[in-house]
Amino acid sequence: MPPKVDPTKCDGCQGESEPLCEQVCPGNLMTLHKETMKAIIRDKSDCWDCMTCTKACPRQAIQTVLQYQLAYFPGKLIPLVGTNSVTWTSIDCHGRVERFVMKTLVSGDDEDED
Amino acid sequence: MANSIGIFVCGCRGLVSDSIDLTLMEAELAKLKKSVGARVVHPWLCGDQGCETIRENIADRGLDCVILAGCPENVHGPLFDGLATGAGLASEMLLRLDIREGCAYPQRGSPDHSFRKAANLIRMWTARARLMKPFEEIKLPGYRAAVVAGGGLAGLTAALELAEAGINVTLIEKESFIGGNVARLNKVFPRMCDSNCGLTYLYSRIKDTGRARLMTLSEIVSLRGKAGRYEAGVVTRPRYIKEGICNGCGQCVKACPVEVPDRFNCGLGSHRAVQAPYPMDLAGAYLINREYCPEGCEACSRACPAGAIDLTQKAGETRINFGTMVVASGWSPYPVERVERLGFGVFPDVITNMQMERLAAENGPTGGGIICPGSGRKARRVVFIQCAGSRDVWHQGWCSSVCCTASIKQALYLRERDPGCRVYIFYNDIRTPGDYEDLYVRAQEAGVLFVRTNPAEVLADPSGGLKIIAEDTLTGRVIETTADLVVLAAGMTPAGDLMKVIEEEVVDRKSLLKYGLVGYSGYHTGHRQCFPMETAAQGIYFAGCAQGPMDMGGTALSALAASAKALKAAGREVIVSPHIAVVDKTGCDKCKRCLEECPYGVFHLDEEGFPVPDGLFCRGCHVCVGSCPRQCIVTQGFGLKQQAAMVSSRIKEIAPGEPVVIAFMCENDAYPAVLEAGRRGLRYPPNIHSIPVRCIGSVNMAVIKEGISAGVDGFLLAGCRSGECHYLSGSDRARERLDNLRETLNDMMIEPARVKFLSLGIDDASVFVREACEIVENLRAIGPSPFKNAIVI
């Protein structure tokens, strides 16, 4: 299921010709709406839920709606991109929350642990 | 990367060691192993013996980074910096960690808490130290030349200063004479000296340097490039008389049929279209005002015995390359004819302050006699009307700051020359700042009558003179008086089209307004205290009355300040601050958010479309570092990587179940407030671990997110109050970013109250303490971070 852009948070990357989501989308599906200057998805059926735009958005304005086979509303999968890790919060349709931290960079700073 | 870190903990002669057990600390330090080369606990590091210990350890153990845990950075700065450089360590590799004001003082009486907090802070600083590298010098190319636009007092002062510093200077003056408005003055307050004396002296010194070129009758019409590498198009109007051949016999003036109003004398009197050089015209040749010549008239050409006249001369355009420009385009009097009730332009005996100067000057139209231009009588009764158009919302809202003193000066010399002359000054408020109050007192003693009035009205008197009606605001009565001469104190308005050229071609006015660089008076101003000389047009500095209304003393100071700023942009090779932002092109995807968020607009795009900051003008606020969604803007020294390492350095709970809070603090306002809280002995929870940063806008949300996933319970971001940020918009940006993050956290079912933005002024110690207690209370109620138990893949 496609990304959902929150128009109150999206600032169209401040009027740039190519917002960040448009640049990162591997399927070239994101674009700016000509009048509102907010990001929209061109073709929802082509999105394969890679969530790149969701992770990249500097204003955290994009959410990926989960496929109904995976979870009914209000099921959600939310990434939080840190400097050396990505954190995933999965909320299923019963409201159960699971959290995963994925290290993207090993800082090698763990040796001092006692 | 530092491979051998020395950790030195100072007992501060009891101030620290009373609350923190140093023996326990020694055992705690032993646990830090990776890249740590020395662990020293010392009762008094800033003493001779302590310094020697540091020096020995650096030398013997080959330390490449040192952490000094003790007093805050602003104490003993030079001592420790000198110590480090003396021992062969770059001063940026000596990290100061405050465990006195920020740890021992607020936790006085609970030694366990302060010990654990200090241990946490040392752990964080060690994580930071591992990633520190010495600064590399950054050099940029540039033109070693400067342009000074405007040959008035400000321009001459700046040109002299730059030329003496070894910079080639082109001094561009619109008129045929130098000195600008100052050359027109009769006397200069407060010492009542002759203005031309100072100007001549200034110019002769400029000539002596051999580095300055003067271009009179010239104007800058185009400008392009950027700081360090500008190119200007300069149009020079012809004189129509060949310098060097003209011998100044004056035959041409006798032949000329056309009368032209005298610009030097501010419109008082007239001269012929071909004119003798004005005072302070250094060319020594006559000049033809060709725009007034009747078609086909060659009377002067025929009359000239030397054959110096060439009516076919054309305006020439030159291109000048330079690195920096001082704009000293000066001021012109407010067009007071717009204030209709004052009758300027209607009654010839109503004149402006500047015209009064010309009347009184010996080289003026009357040879120094105060003769009313309309009636031709000697002025025996003179009324000065202050604030003509100034401090008036319908005209110009600002106070020009010098007109009161200028009128008092004129009143004084009027009384001095003719003790029988009655002089009145009608004023709103007399503003004679600083020493000028003396003049005010002298004028009162000299019998000048000061009348506090509401705006006056000038009418014709049946007797032939002028009648002034005004309301005396001290007695509340309407008063009427007559006068031979009325002098209006016309305020200062920025002069010159150069502003327009700059605004159109280098930076548009909209962005000037956006960055807050146009004062409310329409003058170009920087942040008054922090960056007073800055403009959004980089490499261009405003001096003198182009910067704001000011007196001659202020003008000279402002010109000196501008030339000092200009020096950094006028070198073949410019060494810039190591703190400038650098874009890592491998990570950048050209989203241009840094261009949008940089408070000074120093970014531009290179040929490949990557953003590049202009190193000469980057102020190192690092707001772009905070803005970058790809975290690819890197800085030397303390930056994103180090911050991320600090927040994920596994900070231990102060007591079981207690929340861990990391506070990023703006080092200008918020951090001093924290130190002040410690000094005052205010207690706040030991859970708060403060990290000072250059600007709160430099904190990237990725660091906060990293900390949240690392299990930090709460974050406090403290910046300046909105509108007080030293980097214009840093604290507002941080607040905005944090608001967005808070919503995402809410979506993730994490309590948004875990992150908090705080506006702190420098004296808000008690506010900080209150807020710190509150966030810790809240976090205790909310419970530990869900990421403490997250699955790490």
Binning pLDDT at 50, 70 and 90, where does residue B282 land? confident
Domain-embedded: residue B242:
no
CATH number where A23 lies: 3.30.70.20
Q: Does the residue A113 lie in any domain?
A: no
Q: Do A101 and B741 touch (CB under 8 A)?
A: no
B73 exposure class (CB count in 10 Å sphere: 0-12, 13-18, 19+) = middle
pLDDT digit string, tens, across residues B654-689: 988 899 999 999 998 999 999 999 999 899 999 999
Query: Do A1 and A33 fall within a single domain?
Result: yes
Question: What are the beta bridge partners of residue B531?
Answer: B527
Residues A4 and A43 occupy one common structural domain = yes
- Which of B135-144, B292-301, B337-346, B417-426 comes out lowest in average pLDDT? B135-144
**B663 and B716 Cβ atoms separated by less than 8 Å:** yes
In chain A, the N- to C-terminal Cα span, in Å, equals 45
Judgement on whether residues A44 and A73 belong to the same structural domain of the protein: no
Residue-level pLDDT at B522: 67
- Residues B289 and B280: their CA atoms lie apart, in Å, by 18
Burial of residue B573 (CB within 10 Å: 0-12, 13-18, 19+) is exposed
Note the pLDDT tens digit of each residue in B329-387: 999 999 999 999 999 999 999 999 999 999 999 888 888 889 999 888 999 999 999 99
Same structural domain, B499 and B608: no
Q: The domain that contains B200 carries what CATH number?
A: 3.50.50.60
A11 occurs within a structural domain: yes
The answer as to whether B308 is a domain residue is yes
Domain for residue A41, yes or no? Answer: yes
Q: C-alpha distances in angstroms, B229 versus B221, B225, B319, B358, B568?
A: 17, 6, 13, 41, 13
Which domain covers residue A32, as residue numbers? 1-49
Parent domain of B720: 638-793
Last residue within a domain, chosen from B493, B515, B540: B493
For B95-122, the pLDDT digits (tens) are: 999 999 989 999 888 889 999 999 999 9
Q: Are residues B192 and B272 in the same domain?
A: no
Would you say residue B426 lies in a domain?
Answer: yes
Question: Is the per-residue pLDDT at B324 higher than 70?
Answer: yes
Q: In this model, does residue B235 exceed pLDDT 90? A: yes
- pLDDT for residue A77: 84
User: Each residue of A53-88: pLDDT tens digit?
Assistant: 888 888 888 888 777 776 666 678 888 888 888 888
Residue B255 and residue B187 in one domain:
no
Q: Are residues B299 and B352 in the same domain?
A: no
Q: Is residue A39 part of a domain?
A: yes
Q: Which two tokens stand for residue B632?
A: 């690819």
DSSP helix/strand/coil, B674: helix
Same domain? B657 vs B789: yes
Share of chain B above pLDDT 90, in %: 54
Same domain, A2 and A42: yes
Q: For chain A, count helices (H), then strands (E).
A: 3, 7
- Min CA distance, A67 vs chain B (Å)? 18
Nearest to B629 among A56, A89, A113 (CB): A56
Average pLDDT over residues B588-611: 85
Confidence band for B54, pLDDT divided at 50, 70 and 90: very high
Name chain B contacts of A110, Cβ cutoff 8 Å: 650
Q: Does A111 touch chain B (CB under 8 A)?
A: yes
CA–CA distance from B602 to each of B569, B613, B614, B637 (Å)?
Answer: 14, 5, 5, 20
Smallest Cβ–Cβ distance between A101 and the set B126, B747, B793 belongs to: B793
B598 and B645 housed in the same domain:
no
CB half-sphere exposure, B631, CA atoms < 13 A = 21
Report the range of poorest mean pLDDT among A9-23, A34-48, B439-453.
A9-23
Same domain flag for B584 and B543: no
The DSSP secondary structure of B454-467, one letter per residue, reads S--EEEE-TTSSEE
Q: Which residue has the tokens 């390492």?
A: B645
Give SS3 for B516.
coil
Query: H or E stretch including B20?
Result: none
B657 and B748 in a common domain: yes
Inside any domain, residue A60: no
Restricting to A residues 43-102, those with a Cβ less than 8 Å away from any Cβ of B are 56-61, 63, 76, 78, 80-85, 87, 89, 91, 97-102
Residues in chain A with CB shorter than 8 Å from the CB of B786 are 97, 99
Residues in chain A within 8 Å Cβ distance of B790 = 87, 99-101
The residue type found at B428 is: N
Q: What is the mean pLDDT of residues B174-200?
A: 90
Contacts of B740 (CB under 8 A, 6+ apart): A9, A59, A60, A61, B701
pLDDT given at position B509: 62
Q: In this model, does residue B441 exceed pLDDT 60? A: yes
Q: Does B707 touch chain A (CB under 8 A)?
A: yes
For residue A60, the chain B residues in CB contact (below 8 A) are 740-741, 743-744
Query: Mean pLDDT over residues B726-743, rounded?
Result: 89
Read off the pLDDT of residues B247-268 as tens digits, 9 standing for 90 and up: 888 899 999 999 999 989 998 8
- Residue linked to tokens 């403290």: B718
Q: What is the mean pLDDT of residues B766-786?
A: 92
- Is A88 an annotated catalytic residue? no
Total domains in chain A come to 2
Average pLDDT, integer, range B52-70: 92
| pLDDT in the model for residue B618 | 81
> Any chain A CB within 8 A of the CB of B248?
no
Do residue B475 and residue B392 come from a single domain? Answer: yes
pLDDT at A114 over 50: no
Q: What is the pLDDT of residue B697?
A: 93
Query: What percent of chain B stands above pLDDT 70?
Result: 97
Long-range contacts at B287-290 (CB < 8 A, ≥ 24 apart): B287/B176, B287/B239, B287/B240, B287/B241, B288/B239, B288/B240, B288/B241, B289/B260, B290/B238, B290/B240
- Check whether residue B121 and residue B8 sit in a common domain: yes
Distance CA B482, CA B466 (A): 5
Q: Which DSSP symbol is given to B381?
A: E
Residues A37 and A76 in one domain: no
* CA proximity to B187, closest of B408, B351, B371, B12: B408
Q: Does residue A88 lie within any of the structural domains?
A: yes
SS3 category, B390:
strand
Domain count, chain B: 6
pLDDT at B510: 64
DSSP string, B604-622: EE-TTS-EEE-TTT-----
Q: Which residues pair with B478 in a beta bridge?
A: B471
Inform me whether the C-beta atom of residue A35 falls under 8 Å from chain B C-beta atoms. Answer: no
For A95, which residue in chain B has the nearest alpha carbon?
A: B749
Please, which residues 572-611 of chain B have a Cβ atom closer than 8 Å to chain A? 589-593, 596
Cα nearest neighbour of B748 on chain A:
A89
CB contact under 8 A, B744 and A80: yes
Number of CB atoms found within 10 A of residue B281's CB: 22
Asked if B114 contacts B104 with a C-beta cutoff of 8 angstroms, the reply is yes
Residues B541, B533 contacting (CB under 8 angstroms): yes
Q: Please report whether residue A59 resides in a domain.
A: no
* Mean confidence (pLDDT) of chain B: 89
Q: Quick one: average pLDDT of B601-613?
A: 86
> In sequence order, what are the beta bridge partners of B663?
B690, B716
CB contact under 8 A, B31 and A114: yes
Last residue of a domain, one of B458, B493, B528: B493
Percentage of chain A beyond pLDDT 90 is 0
Q: What is the CA radius of gyration of chain B?
A: 33
DSSP string, B730-779: HHHHHHHHHHHHHHHHHHTT--GGGEEEEE--TT-HHHHHHHHHHHHHHH
Q: Which position among A48, A95, A109, A110 bears the catalytic label? A: A48
Chain A residues within 8 A of B590 when measuring between CB atoms = 18, 23
Determine the Cα–Cα distance for residues B113 and B571; give it in Å rounded to an integer.
Answer: 54
B92 shares its domain with B1: yes
Q: pLDDT by residue (tens digit) across B523-551?
A: 777 777 888 887 767 788 889 998 889 99
Decide if pLDDT at B92 tops 60: yes
Instruction: Give CA–CA dist B690/B678, Å, rounded.
Output: 12
Q: B50-58 — which CB contacts under 8 Å span 24+ positions? A: B50/B10, B51/B79, B51/B83, B53/B8, B54/B6, B54/B8, B54/B83, B54/B87, B55/B83, B55/B86, B55/B87, B57/B6, B57/B8, B58/B6, B58/B84, B58/B87, B58/B88, B58/B89
Q: Do A58 and B631 touch (CB under 8 A)?
A: no
Look at residues B116, B135, B154 and tell me which one is the last residue of a structural domain: B135
CB spacing of A109 vs B645 below 8 angstroms: yes
